[in-house]
Amino acid sequence: MKLLWKLRFILKDYWQQYLLAFICLQIVSALNLLPPWLIGQVIDGIKDSSLTNHELAGYVAAIAVTGLVVYGFRYVWRSQLYGASIELIRQQRSRLFAHFTQLTPEFYQRHTTGDLMAHATNDLNAVEESVGVGIMTLVDSLIAGLTVLFAMVFLVSGQLTLLAMLPFPVLVWVTKRYGVALYSRFGRSQAAFSSLNEETRESITGIRAVKAHQLAERQTRRFEQLSMESVAANTSVARVDALFGPSISLFFGLSFVLALVGGAWLISHGQLTVGLLTSFTLYLGQMLGPMLQFGWQFNVFQRGSASWGRLEKLLSRQPKVSNSPGAQQAPDDTSLSIDIRSFAYDAASDQKPVLQGISTEIPAGAFIGITGRTGSGKSTLLRLILREFDLPEGSSIQMGNIPLPQLTVESLRKKLAWVPQEPMLFSGTITDNIRFCAPDASPETVEKAAKLAAIDKEIMDFKDGYNTLLGENGINLSGGQKQRLALARALLADAEILLLDDAFSALDMKTEARILKNLMAMKGRKTIILVTQRLPELITADHILVLDRGRIIEQGSHDQLLSKGKNATDQPEENTTEHWYAKIFQQQARTLLQPLEVKPDAVIKRSDVA
């Protein structure tokens, strides 16, 4: 019930539909009183032999017409009431999705997809049930129950009603007791089922170990035991569950017997006719539904209420990054100026900063390389440029001398095209994926982007070419293909700044070289910020930042960094970061560049572009 109060603002939008449904429901309940009463009249007529054919025809017609009219009103109230609940859930689901798209990575770091999916499915379902079936049964049991009660008292006899209703409170109490018992037993059976599930999952994920260690028998034994436990738990549920039906018919039967005996007494005292007693027993039959529903809807509302509580909490989460009042469009000048004193993902706890003392200028059209060991803060820097997180006081990133928080998020991100470390693709065709940020892009544009990302030939080799359907997250592609599709997607965006986060890690040297060549052709027109661990990619970079544990330890052009390390020894000692760039480059040049030395023209081409 509390739930309905909480939902009042949402329900309000549908008040017309609900009102119409309630009115129809009331009409149905009232009309339903008619046939039993008419039957009672017919019976009395038969008994007194006073029934004329004309009257009979009227009664019969009235019963049939009532049936038809009730049918019509039933249809209306059902479609109105359930229609409203469906509409309501549609809106809430859409609202939830919109909310999801607004929440920032800070939120997604704390919540697993599975949990969020549970909100989007189970919780919404529970609310839907509450506002549909829940409201229906609540209102129906009240309206119909009271209407029938009214008829029994005023059309037949108050005394008889009182007598016949005696078993009902007991019935309500008993079924409520059953409900409580069922709830705890049901919990146990669910737990048994989930441990059975877990055991099965364990055996199947570990099937190699099961086979290698010959554990089939042991696992089957354990499975059998758990399955038996589940049988036992379910049996105990069944024993309570099976009580409902018989108890109801028993108490109901008692009520009937009381009505008959009491009715007989009243008839013998001339206070009732046989026909009215018949009407009364028929009314009694109509009470069954509302009585049952009344107990049942508590459950529905309880579940709905808990679910709505969770949804409300989720919907009240404010996105950490949003447009500030008076935010302006991103400027045409896309030079970046970065000045980060200190940044940690979780500022509240005393976490070690991920970035410290990062200060650099990135002029528009420059090619900037960022390198460093795993976990040195490279990706974080890109995330800050994307404004996935806002910087603390004292640190800032500016675009064209305007701090990022003063720009609208949309216009900022239009300037940026990001290729993440883990290429995330969507189900749909290859074309859809490439033109993700411009769904109306022409096939030529798509092909051009694919060509630049050196994936065009492979796409054409697929049977369906650009129309090849990708599974969830491009499951049918290799790692390298996914990376290049993600690159093509970013290139099609035609943004001023390209952010490449270790985007070529799964590619072989030849493909990598081709892509780099294509990218270099854009130099001057586009800012390219390339995060990589393969240093030869950075030979032509204008400026290179070497990060270690969140700080810049070296910076300069390739040649500058290399000459600094001239005197460094070949074999770097562990944990020294001095001349890191030069040392690693020399190592990599020996191993990684070997294939390039075989084909000297590749190197020449590179320097040509530079």
Partner 1 sequence: MIEKDEKQTSGYRGLARLIRYAKPYQWQFLGAFLILLLATSLEMLAPWLMKIILDEHIAPGVNDVMGLAIMGSALFGTYLGSAILQYLQNVTFQENALKAVHDIRRMLFAHVLKLPMRYFDSEPTGRLVSRITNDSEVLRQMFVGVIPAILQAFFRVVGIFIAMALLDIHLMLMTTLLIPVMLLAIHFYQKISHPVIHGVRSQLANINSRVNESLNGMRIIQAMGQEAHLQQQFDRDNEQWSQLKRKNINIDSLLLMPFTHLLNGIALAVVVGWFGYQSGFSLVEVGTLYAFINYLGRFFEPFRQITMQMSSLQQSLVASERLFQVLNEETEDTKHGQNNGQSKSPEIQHGRLEFNNVTLSYDSKNLALDNVSFTVEPGQFVAIVGHSGSGKSSVINLLMRFYHHQEGQILIDNQPLSTLKEDTLRQGLGLVFQEPYIFSGTMAENISLNHQKITDEHVQAAAIKVHADPFIRSLDEGYEHKPGPGGKALSTGERQLLSFARTIAQNPKILLLDEATANIDGETEHHIKEALITLRENRTTIAVAHRLSTIQDADQILVMDKGKIVQRGTHEQLLQQEGHYRDLYLAQQTEEQLGTTQQSDLMMTAVSA
Closest CB to partner 1 among 268 and 318? 268
Give the nearest distance from C-beta 94 to partner 1 in angstroms: 5
Question: x/- binding map, residues 524-543, to partner 1, per CB under 8 A?
Answer: ---------x----------
Residue of 18, 22, 35, 554 that binds partner 1 (CB under 8 A): 35
Is residue 116 involved in binding partner 1 (CB under 8 A)? yes
Q: Of the listed pieces 143-151, 175-183, 237-245, 560-568, which binds partner 1 according to CB under 8 A?
A: 237-245
- The first and second tokens of residue 586, run together, are 């020399």
Q: Of the listed pieces 19-27, 256-264, 297-305, 552-560, which binds partner 1 according to CB under 8 A?
A: 256-264
510-521 burial code (b ≥16 CB/10 A, e <16): ebbbbbbbbbbe
Q: Of the listed pieces 176-184, 236-244, 361-369, 554-562, which binds partner 1 according to CB under 8 A?
A: 236-244
Identity (one letter) of the amino acid at 88?
L
Q: Of the listed pieces 271-279, 298-306, 397-405, 511-519, which binds partner 1 according to CB under 8 A?
A: 271-279
Closest CB to partner 1 among 539 and 542? 539
Closest CB to partner 1 among 67 and 443? 67
Give the nearest distance from C-beta 166 to partner 1 in angstroms: 14
Give the nearest distance from C-beta 588 to partner 1 in angstroms: 6
Nearest CA-CA partner of 533 in 509, 572, 501, 575: 501
Is residue 193 involved in binding partner 1 (CB under 8 A)? yes
* Terminal Cα distance for the chain, rounded: 72
Give 392-436 as a DSSP string: PTT-EEEETTEEGGGB-HHHHHHTEEEE-SS----SEEHHHHHTT
Question: x/- binding map, residues 149-178, to partner 1, per CB under 8 A?
Answer: ------------------------------
Nearest-angstrom CA–CA distance, 514 and 516: 5
Residue of 106, 202, 390, 494 that binds partner 1 (CB under 8 A): 202
Is residue 511 involved in binding partner 1 (CB under 8 A)? no
Alpha carbon separation from 530 to 122, 165, 218, 370, 564 (Å, rounded): 42, 80, 53, 6, 22
Is 88 within 8 Å of 14 (Cβ atoms)? yes
Size of the site for partner 1 (CB under 8 A): 151
Strand order across the beta sheet in which 497-501 lies: 416-419, 497-501, 527-531, 367-372, 543-548, 551-556
Q: Which of residues 299-318 bind partner 1 (CB under 8 A)?
A: none
Nearest-angstrom CA–CA distance, 275 and 278: 5
Give 15-69 as a DSSP string: HHHHHHHHHHHHHHHHHHTHHHHHHHHHHHHHHHT---HHHHHHHHHHHHHHHHH
DSSP annotation of 103 reads S
Q: Of the listed pieces 148-156, 244-252, 309-317, 449-457, which binds partner 1 according to CB under 8 A?
A: 244-252
Give the nearest distance from C-beta 457 to partner 1 in angstroms: 21
Is 525 within 8 Å of 498 (Cβ atoms)? no
Alpha carbon separation from 268 to 5, 251, 255, 364 (Å, rounded): 51, 26, 20, 104
Give the β-pairing of 336-343 and 396-399: antiparallel
Identity (one letter) of the amino acid at 448?
K
Q: Of the listed pieces 42-50, 306-314, 360-368, 445-453, which binds partner 1 according to CB under 8 A?
A: 42-50
Residue of 1, 166, 250, 610 that binds partner 1 (CB under 8 A): 250
Nearest CA-CA partner of 486 in 495, 473, 496: 473
DSSP H/E element including 445: helix 443-452
SS3 70: helix
Give 507-523 as a DSSP string: S-HHHHHHHHHHHHTTB
- Specify burial of residue 121 (Cβ count, 10 A radius: 0-12, 13-18, 19+): exposed
Give the nearest distance from C-beta 332 to partner 1 in angstroms: 18
Closest CB to partner 1 among 173 and 426? 426
Is residue 201 involved in binding partner 1 (CB under 8 A)? yes
Q: Which of residues 348-407 bind partner 1 (CB under 8 A)?
A: 372-376, 386, 388
Give the nearest distance from C-beta 394 to partner 1 in angstroms: 26
Q: Which of residues 50-109 bind partner 1 (CB under 8 A)?
A: 51, 53, 56-57, 59-61, 63-64, 66-68, 70-71, 74-75, 78-79, 82-83, 86-87, 89-90, 93-94, 97-98, 100-105, 108
Closest CB to partner 1 among 2 and 239? 239
Q: Which of residues 440-499 bind partner 1 (CB under 8 A)?
A: 472-473, 489, 493
Nearest-angstrom CA–CA distance, 342 and 323: 23
Give the nearest distance from C-beta 183 to partner 1 in angstroms: 18
Give the nearest distance from C-beta 535 to partner 1 in angstroms: 10
Residue whose structure tokens are 């500030």: 324
Tell me the backbone φ, ψ of residue 23, rounded to 5 degrees: -60, -45
Is residue 345 involved in binding partner 1 (CB under 8 A)? no
Give the nearest distance from C-beta 484 to partner 1 in angstroms: 15
Count of residues making up the chain:
610
Q: Which of residues 404-443 bind partner 1 (CB under 8 A)?
A: 410, 413-414, 416-418, 420, 424-427, 436-437, 439
Give the nearest distance from C-beta 228 to partner 1 in angstroms: 7
Is residue 548 involved in binding partner 1 (CB under 8 A)? yes
Nearest-angstrom CA–CA distance, 319 and 103: 5
Q: Of the listed pieces 141-149, 275-283, 322-330, 559-567, which binds partner 1 according to CB under 8 A?
A: 275-283
Closest CB to partner 1 among 374 and 607? 374
Give the nearest distance from C-beta 103 to partner 1 in angstroms: 8
Is residue 186 involved in binding partner 1 (CB under 8 A)? no
Q: Which of residues 578-597 bind partner 1 (CB under 8 A)?
A: 583-584, 587-588, 590-592, 594
